[in-house]
Amino acid sequence: MNLLEQVLPYSAYEINSIQRFGEDNMRTIGNIIWFLFGGVFMGLAWWFFGLLAFLTIVGIPWGRACFVMGNFSFFPFGQEAISRDELTNETDIGTSPLGVIGNVIWFLFAGIWLAIGHIMSAVACFITIIGIPFAIQHLKLAVISLAPIGKTVVDKREAEAARVRNYKG
């Protein structure tokens, strides 16, 4: 056994697995705390707007986006909202000019109210000092709530891999 093997008894793969295990545990703990101390309310708000959108036939695309973002709002840690065209390198109806029109309509009817809710939740979390990481997450969700059409929620590692794949530098 050489000196390096004595000092570093684990392979790079094993070290990466141990780090990932720790990250997954922290993500789970963060999501549980988030859900219990306020995340459930904003997730339900997203679902409420989703149900309202589904009541109208033309609102189904907005309703679908509401349920995706509502699930994200319930458990945001370890996930990221990313543009579908950035993820797949393909344009679809939500990432086209029609998606922009959809986002403008969304902003006028529901997006502003969800953003206000997330901002108010962020202020409440900031006041507690210990809730600052949750406040930052609420602010990210407030930005997403302004224009959710054309976005999807994926694991942070998958989002990072898409950015690396698309990097042209």
Domain locations in the chain? 39-166
**What per-residue confidence (pLDDT) applies to 89?**
85
Q: What pLDDT does 3 receive? A: 53
SS3 of residue 83 by DSSP:
strand
For 100-134, the pLDDT digits (tens) are: 999 999 999 999 999 999 999 999 999 998 999 99
What's the pLDDT at 8? 55
Q: What is the pLDDT of residue 166?
A: 86
Average predicted confidence (pLDDT) for the chain: 86
Question: How many angstroms separate the CA atoms of 136 and 76, rounded?
Answer: 11
| pLDDT at 142 (0 to 100) | 96
Residue count of the chain, please give it.
169
